[in-house]
A and B are shown apart, each in its own frame.
Chain A
Amino acid sequence: MSVDSKEKLTVSGLHVAVNGQEILKGVDLEIGRGEIHALMGPNGSGKSTLGYAIMGHPSYEVTSGTIELVDADGTHHNVLEMEPDQRARAGIFLAFQRPMSIPGVRLADFLRHAVTNIRNPDRKEGQDLIPMREFRGDLKAKMAELEMDSDFARRYVNDGFSGGEMKRAEILQLAMLRPRFAVLDETDSGLDADAVRLASQSIAKIGGADMGILVITHHEQLLEHNIPHRTHVMLGGRIVESGGPELATELHKQGYERIRVAYPEAAAAEQAMTATV
């Protein structure tokens, strides 16, 4: 199997600026379908920025570098040319660190639109949604697996949700949309101990060998059932070090002091970034 025949999401030499200020200063990352990558790094190092850039948030301007999606047959797609919804339809997913609420729109209705578009990527607005019966069956099954009350789907998207409820709703959406590649941005934060365990198991089950996942986390529990193939450390807008699962364990135990000392240039960039805020 040649490298190019692997289904993957690649980020190379990525520079991203917000309001003219550079946040990411050259990020390289390759996630194969079926792989789990952990992304760690201190607050403000640029982890969420990478997730937004991959999803296409309009405020995050890619000043140089590429993001590509490579199909199993070797076809390359330039992700940077796609609108966010095209990226989603192409199989990219972002679980938000801070999901947005949409008052008045029931989670079920929102998801029915989402599922329809992602299953028929060429669908135009106004064309039929997937049949209610089929959708409802699927939704109920997924909610049961996630130990969620089915009444939850009748609530308005993230409106008045607790922190933990929001994260569970993000996992539900991941389960319903079954993307090829997912960035999970602190999907464990806000969850209680039992919920984190369940989330860890569910993500492993949803992902399996099917999904390439980038797990952004400050905690260890989410990785319990999702042993990372690779762990990356971000500092000052760069991935400064990558390793195996043992790197995640080390950082959880010992923090980022060794990293800052080992990469003084990135540490200086980190200082400069936080100083301007």
Chain B
Amino acid sequence: MKTSSVESLAPVPTAHSATATRSSFDHRSLALLIAASNSPAWVNEHRQVAFERLESLGMPARNDENWMRTDLRLFKPQAWGPRQPPEPTEPMPVGLLAEAIAAGHGGQETFLNEPSGPVHATRSLAGKVLSLDGHVQYEQLDESLARQGVLFGPANRLLAEHPDVFKPHWFSVIDSGADWFAAMHAAFHTAGAVLFVPPGVRVTAPFYALSAITPGGVDTGHVLVVLGEGSEATVLTETAGGGGPTTRPSDGSPSPATGGFHCGGTEIVVGARAFLRIVNLQNWNDGVWHFARQKAVVHEGGRLQWTLGALGSRLSQVAQDVALVGRGAHAQVNGVMFTVGRQQLVYNTLQHHEAPDCRSDLLYKGALQDRSRLVWRGMIRVNKLAQKTDGYQRNDNLMLSSEARADSIPGLEIEADDVRCTHGATSGRVDEEQIFYAQARGLSADEAARLVVAGFFQQVFDRITIAPVREAFAQAISSRIRRLS
């Protein structure tokens, strides 16, 4: 299954991309951005504060704990800046999840993806927001949901219309001063999507947001999801497009037609006894720089099932934090990573238990091919008050090449005395004996290898209760596996 191919995109008109690439994230571009948007004043004030912070920050230092395993030497911040709206004729790359949902995947009769619990198989969406190069191209929301008070759409419009709903949460969840990327995002965010589900409203169809870029494009989308007390929702977000690895023309300037840059933020608020399933699939083409700061806050008795998928990008640095702030909150965090070529993906996760009787359960699974690199650094932090915490974190990696490298660094910081926290990490290879066994039953060596890798991910697929998502992940991974080296 091939997604969002570069070839399908029309060439970027030279005049407009030339201006776009020369601009940078500076005073002038911030002023232009503010002038062009019709955001309310309080949103712009946030931008100004973040910009001041940005000006005091440099690139993260090589000895910064969070960044020491991320190779930023080839990342040139001056090469990137806000982008003009794309030409109206610019085609939108197609998202993997959107395709799977449209195809109605999940109803197939197969033992392989058979779930252990109830699963969503759906063809329809509750709403969607599509953006290209940081500009919203399309938005839609189911009318009956709108009548129930559900809000879903681009931040620009909804923050102006419903400050009462969104202002208390806007940039209150993630730390916009954490580093250069966080501050840049907070100052220059555009597009993205915001969602509010009123208390008690349960939505079964998924809300969908696609952030796409053209080759050489930039995306700084911000996602804010707020679930009112006792509500329920499913949110799927994904990324697509961008160019291949950055190649430099003879004059040494970065080529605008290649690569791409994403610097995003996601804030999630799960109200008391609310239930959110959310999936973020990073599927950029392999020249894209991806930086993301994502955090969820779960209130009393709330439940969160959060799945990250990563298939693309040239380099990714992701901070994924979950804060359990109310008694009995529960978070399940799933990660599915498949890396190829020279991709480098770095994840810093935090499960922060701030209240008693909470449960957090993280399972990241990665398969590494070629010379790729995958880093997971996880922390379970338990506050003094958070008695009866049940925390778990695990990272399993499957090495499909002897040149790939994976690092798993679990960590615990526990201040309470009545807790159960465990962690584990494994790293293994596909066993030739397994391949032979399957071959002896008539499976070709390739087919056997794909089955073994699919089996490796099954444990995490079992935890994803949205059928088209499992299907899309499984197919995308299967299509990336080559004969083992």
Contact = CB atoms under 8 A, between A and B. Distances in A.
A94 B440 CA distance: 7
A175 interface: no
Given A58-B432, A109-B112, A154-B111, A103 B440 contact: no
Contacts of B442: 85, 88-89, 113-114, 117-118, 177
Residues of B in contact with A, size category: 20 to 34
Contact of B110 (A87, A100, A132): A132
Contact of A105 (B114, B440, B458): B458
A57 B432 CA distance: 10
Nearest to A98: B433
Contacts, number: 101
A182 B433 CA distance: 19
Nearest to B458: A104
Contacts of B444: 83, 85, 117, 125
B108 to A, nearest CB: 9
Residues of A in contact with B, size category: 35 or more
B385 interface: no
Given A125-B446, A154-B114, A104 B455 contact: yes
B461 to A, nearest CB: 8
A102 B438 contact: yes
A106 interface: yes
A256 interface: no
B439 A84 contact: yes
A110 B438 contact: yes
B64 interface: no
Interface string A39-78: 0000000000000000111100000000000000000000
Given A85-B444, A125-B444, A106 B111 contact: yes
B150 to A, nearest CB: 37
A114 B454 CA distance: 16
A100 B434 contact: yes
Contacts of B112: 105-106, 109
A251 B114 CA distance: 49
Nearest to B478: A126
A105 B456 CA distance: 8
A101 B428 CA distance: 14
Given A132-B110, A154-B111, A55 B455 contact: no
Interface in A143-202: 153-154, 156, 173, 177
B480 to A, nearest CB: 14
A102 B443 contact: no
A101 B454 CA distance: 14
Contacts of B446: 125
A255 interface: no
A132 B439 CA distance: 22
B445 A100 contact: no
A111 B111 CA distance: 11
B455 to A, nearest CB: 3
A151 to B, nearest CB: 12
Contacts of A88: 439-442
A43 B381 CA distance: 55
B471 to A, nearest CB: 14
B138 interface: no
A153 B114 CA distance: 12
Given A99-B437, A102-B437, A102-B452, A117 B110 contact: no
Most buried by B among A57, A104, A113: A104
Contact of A153 (B109, B110, B111, B458): B111
Contacts of B114: 106, 154
Given A88-B440, A100-B437, A83 B454 contact: no
A105 B437 contact: no
A26 B434 CA distance: 29
B165 to A, nearest CB: 43
Given A58-B432, A106-B111, A125 B447 contact: yes
B441 A102 contact: no
A112 interface: yes
A177 B441 contact: yes
Interface string B213-232: 00000000000000000000
Contacts of A102: 434, 437-438, 451-452, 455
A100 B431 contact: yes
A103 B439 contact: no
Nearest to A118: B442
A114 B443 contact: yes
A100 B443 CA distance: 14
Nearest to A121: B442
Interface string B8-48: 00000000000000000000000000000000000000000
B457 A104 contact: yes
A154 to B, nearest CB: 7
Contacts of B431: 100
Contact of A110 (B450, B451, B456, B459): B451
Contact of A104 (B433, B445, B447, B454): B454
B171 interface: no
A19 B451 CA distance: 28
A111 B114 CA distance: 16
A108 interface: yes
Contacts of B110: 109, 132
Contact of A156 (B445, B448, B455): B455
Interface string A224-256: 000000000000000000000000000000000
Interface in B454-468: 454-459
B439 A83 contact: yes
What 8 A-B pairs come out closest when comparing CB atoms? A104-B455, A104-B458, A117-B442, A84-B439, A105-B455, A100-B437, A88-B442, A114-B441
10 contacts: A85-B443, A85-B445, A88-B439, A100-B437, A102-B437, A104-B456, A106-B112, A110-B451, A132-B110, A153-B111
